Amino acid sequence: MHLIDAMPKIYALFAGTPEPLLTEALLLCAHGAVTMAPSGTSTVRYGTGSDADTATVEGGACDCDPLAETRQVCAHVIAASLYELLREEEKKSPLDGPLLERHVEKIVSGAMMTEAPYSLNVSVEDPDGYTLQFTVRKQDSREFFEAATALRTWVKKQGFTPKHQWRQPLQEGQAPTQSDAHSTVSGAPSSTQKTYLFHAETLVRSELGGKYVWAVMGADMPAYNKKYGMRAWPEILEAAGFDMATLETTRVGDLPSLKGYIAHYVMRIDDLQKPDKVVRLVKAVP
């Protein structure tokens, strides 16, 4: 029997056994410390140097503690049971020692466990644009939901954002004409500035010096602006059809969604590597 199939049986046979005891038994098998006589009696070598000793396991009992008044489960009993499971069907699938060694490290570290009925994969992006993935696996439903909720809370505190599905990249935009940009709009670009695009999704409002400051966020926006969003002057929002008086009195959590809008932005004049501001907000063409 393969180790992957044997371990769930061991967990079932010795349910409630402390994990360190199970790990010790696994290591004893991995190091070849268990041998079995034709009679079914197992011998387990344990300890090192002058402390090395052997224990005999027979009929589910071990003689490692002759003073024990009742039969106790020890690492030697578990190791003998695991060894017996691994020997099953040996002719059809011989035990591969090196393969066992490679699996030991994974099981001891918790990287390889029995298949969990409850699992959750969370893919997020950090403020620098790197994609990270976290996985929660649990056998118990209550523990799973508690761990999943804790993970979501922790992810939000780190400032990570959900990784959005791939969308067709937008092409660079043409600088709006004077009539399109409205020459009276303070956020409008000059005729010589090149504009770029991203899919707008969220409108952000903050207060600075007693005045409201507005920003636009989107999944495919430049990583430089992902933490706070890209600023947008009130005139830009008004030109997109929003009423500023309404926006200023609306709860932050109830601000209108910008999904379906395309944000045009320009780079800073003094640093062409850094995005500057949104200069136009328009409905995407279906």
pLDDT tens-place string over residues 240-273: 999 999 999 999 889 999 999 999 999 998 888 8
Residue 259 included in any domain: yes
45 and 98 inside one domain = yes
| Ranges in the chain, pLDDT < 70 | 1, 66-71, 89-116, 129, 163-192, 286
18 and 83 inside one domain = yes
Residue 170 included in any domain: no
pLDDT for the residue 217: 94
* Residue type at position 249: T
Its domain, for residue 278, covers 178-283
pLDDT for the residue 118: 76
d(CA 25, CA 75): 5
pLDDT for the residue 192: 63
Residue 266's closest CA among 197, 168, 208? 197
Q: How many domains does the chain have?
A: 3
272 and 239 inside one domain = yes
Give CA 214 to chain center in angstroms.
Answer: 31
pLDDT for the residue 112: 47
d(CA 200, CA 282): 9
Residue 15 included in any domain: yes
Residue 71 included in any domain: yes
pLDDT for the residue 241: 94
Residue 202's closest CA among 227, 168, 185? 227
pLDDT tens-place string over residues 56-99: 888 778 887 766 656 677 888 899 888 888 887 544 444 445 55
pLDDT for the residue 110: 52
Residue 127 included in any domain: yes
pLDDT for the residue 179: 37
Residue 122 included in any domain: yes
105 and 135 inside one domain = no
Residue 251 included in any domain: yes
**Residue 48 main-chain phi, psi, to 5 deg:** -135, 155
